[in-house]
Amino acid sequence: MSIEGRIRELSDKHRKLDEEIQIAEKAPAQDHVKTTKLKREKLRVKEELRKLDS
């Protein structure tokens, strides 16, 4: 896979994680553990994107 393809894949994953986090935070019975895991995964993806972009 090319770097551009990997960046697109990670960007899509980052966007989807952001959507999942927003939904999880709006839920009446918010699962803080799940939200924290999603945020950590989103940060990991962001860091990988940053490395590939430089």
Q: Which residues contact 23 (CB under 8 A, 6 or more apart)?
A: none
Phi, psi of 29 (to 5 degrees): -110, 75
Residue 53 confidence (pLDDT): 87
Count how many domains the chain has.
1
Establish if 12 belongs to a structural domain: yes
Q: At what angle do helices 32-53 and 3-26 cross, to 10 degrees?
A: 160
Establish if 14 belongs to a structural domain: yes
Condensed to tens digits (0 to 9), the pLDDT of residues 2-31 reads 999 999 999 999 999 999 999 999 989 889
Establish if 53 belongs to a structural domain: no
Residue 14 confidence (pLDDT): 98
Establish if 3 belongs to a structural domain: yes
What is residue 27's three-state secondary structure?
coil
Establish if 34 belongs to a structural domain: no
pLDDT at position 1 over 80: no
Confirm if 19 and 30 have CB atoms less than 8 A apart.
no
Residue 18: which domain range? Answer: 1-26
Residue 54 confidence (pLDDT): 83
pTM to 2 decimal places: 0.87
Establish if 9 belongs to a structural domain: yes
Condensed to tens digits (0 to 9), the pLDDT of residues 43-53 reads 999 999 999 98
